[in-house]
Amino acid sequence: MRAPYNARMTPLSNPNPLTPLSNDPRYPTGKLTFDPDVTPDKRRAWIDAIRTTPARLRAAVSGLTEQQLETPYRDGGWTIRQVVHHVPESHANAWIRFKLAMTEDSPTIKLYNEDAWVKLPDVPRAPIESSLTLLDALHQRWVALLEAMTDADFRRPLTHPERGQITLDTMLQIYAWHGPHHIGHVEIVRRG
């Protein structure tokens, strides 16, 4: 049996991300489900979710106090500062994985310990603006790639060390909701 891609990830199925689908703070927008019926319209919607993530994250953290940035979204969870720095780190890995899959035959991706990354010494020191700016630029490039991809490109596989082969269509769905998932964590702290 293959391990789940990432237990924290959830679907982009909540039309209003300010209204939680779940009372479980780990999954403010619900748990991940994949849509096997991929259509051009659905792809466009997923790409749009990736396109809008930087602005939505920026709006979610706007006006938060230092105390709120240092607040975990749940007991044992990451602080909002850690969440904000995590999103561009995760999405940079995803962008590179897309490029690898577009230029190699089923490349095996390298996993990384995201929990260890958010505990590295740059995270408490770096202003969140640095990660918000990084996310803006990264998503401009990523969306340019996504919008230029063909149906065949989205069917290209990569090899996940724990899950086996997955397509770029699957990766698109994962990251279309990954941003809203973490925006939901910010909203938990904002609502207090």
Per-residue pLDDT of the chain (192 residues; tens, 9 = 90+): 333 333 333 333 444 443 445 678 888 877 878 999 999 999 999 999 999 999 999 999 999 999 999 999 999 999 999 999 999 999 999 999 999 999 999 999 999 999 999 999 999 999 999 999 999 999 999 999 999 999 999 999 999 999 999 999 999 999 998 999 999 999 999 998
Is 174 within 8 Å of 5 (Cβ atoms)?
yes
* The predicted structure's pLDDT at residue 123: 98
The CA distance from 168 to 146, in Å, is 10
- Per-residue pLDDT at 21: 54
pLDDT for the residue numbered 15: 41
* pTM for the model: 0.88
**Tell me, what's the pLDDT at 32?**
77
Per-residue pLDDT, 5? 34
* Amino acid present at 12: L
The pLDDT score that the predictor gives to residue 176 is 95
CA distance 189 to 134: 23
Q: What is the DSSP string of the chain?
A: -PPPS-TT---S--S-TTS-S-S-TT-TT------S---HHHHHHHHHHHHHHHHHHHHHHTT--HHHHTSBSSTTS-BHHHHHHHHHHHHHHHHHHHHHHHHSSSPBPPP--HHHHTTSTHHHHS-HHHHHHHHHHHHHHHHHHHHH--HHHHT-EEEETTTEEEEHHHHHHHHHHHHHHHHHHHHHHHH-
Cα(160)–Cα(174) distance, rounded to whole angstroms?
13
